[in-house]
């Protein structure tokens, strides 16, 4: 069965995605190599996707957190840095361990931290059926592929970001068994893990409920970063209806100590 997304993305309420400047930029980046070459440093893109437009200290913050909390991931930094080859991101240098220096963008550094969280909560990601809602250009998948061989990895987004994502990941030879679903044509199937980095928070209630029904309710586990503080209580209730166990933790580290963003980790007993 396939379904078409119902709801609105909060960034462009009432706007046809065909007319959105952001979606048009994704389309152009996917089709024009000269635009793709620098898409990650274009404000039209990085103000919406990821945290590359944030303070340069963001990368240092995340990498120091990884060094102190998930030190085993340092062994893979030489692989992770390949994520910086395409799109010409702004990169910021930090000494991670043993005097060795790596240069990472804010966004890659953040997703290394998320990878550490995923391993902590769910163990090995080998042979899992994973789906990511609103995956940007695919950083999380790229980093996971450095450690694990998933069974399948599905991506769900508007057709133009999906087109750019597909182009980006095609640059890497180690990315296999992937499925790309535009929001107009989402295949409903079972998953082991749903990943959503703030994407659910950007939807109205109709859109949020759509993904709860057609994606999250079909999964054994989830890892969702959330910034919808205004409806946090109701959001938690919705996750409680789908998962046997949920854990709510602050989204840390954060540059702002008063940051109210949070992470929902959902697990079903049969998982």
Least confident of 126-130, 135-139, 148-152, 258-262: 258-262
Cβ-Cβ contacts under 8 Å for 69 (sequence gap 6 or more): 116
Does residue 20 surpass a pLDDT of 80? no
For 183-242, how does the pLDDT look when each residue is reduced to its tens digit (9 = 90+)?
Answer: 999 999 999 999 999 999 999 999 999 999 999 999 999 999 999 999 999 999 999 999
Place of tokens 């409920």: 209
Place of tokens 């940051």: 259
Residue 15 falls in which region: left (phi positive, over 0), alpha (psi -120 to 50) or beta: beta
Residues 169, 184: Cα–Cα separation, whole Å: 21
Question: Are 160 and 146 spatial neighbours (Cβ–Cβ below 8 Å)?
Answer: no
Q: What is the pTM of this model?
A: 0.94
Cβ-Cβ contacts under 8 Å for 88 (sequence gap 6 or more): 37, 38, 39, 40, 41
């Amino acid at each position: 069965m396939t379904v078409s997304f119902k709801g609105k993305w909060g960034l462009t309420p009432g706007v046809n995605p065909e007319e959105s400047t952001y979606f048009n930029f994704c389309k152009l980046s996917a089709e024009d190599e000269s635009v793709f070459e620098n898409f990650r440093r274009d404000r039209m893109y990085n103000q919406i996707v990821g945290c590359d437009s944030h303070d340069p200290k963001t990368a240092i913050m995340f990498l120091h957190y990884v060094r102190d909390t998930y030190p085993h991931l340092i062994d893979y930094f030489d692989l992770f840095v390949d994520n910086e080859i395409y799109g010409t991101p702004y990169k910021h240098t930090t000494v991670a361990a043993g005097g060795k220096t790596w240069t990472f963008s804010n966004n890659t550094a953040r997703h290394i931290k998320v990878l550490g969280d995923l391993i902590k909560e769910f163990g090995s990601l080998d042979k899992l059926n994973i789906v990511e809602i609103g995956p940007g250009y695919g950083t999380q998948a790229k980093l996971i592929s450095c450690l694990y061989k998933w069974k399948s990895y599905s991506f769900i987004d508007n057709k133009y970001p999906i087109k750019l994502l597909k182009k980006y990941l095609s640059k890497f030879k180690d990315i296999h068994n992937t499925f790309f679903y535009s929001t107009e044509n989402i295949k409903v199937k079972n998953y082991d893990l749903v990943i959503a980095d703030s994407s659910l928070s950007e939807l109205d209630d109709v859109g949020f409920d759509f993904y709860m029904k057609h994606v999250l309710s079909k999964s054994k586990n989830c890892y969702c970063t959330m910034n919808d503080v205004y409806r946090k209580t109701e959001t938690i209730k919705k996750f409680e209806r789908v998962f046997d166990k949920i854990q709510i933790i602050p989204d840390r580290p954060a540059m702002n100590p008063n940051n109210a963003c949070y992470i929902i980790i959902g697990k079903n007993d049969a998982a």
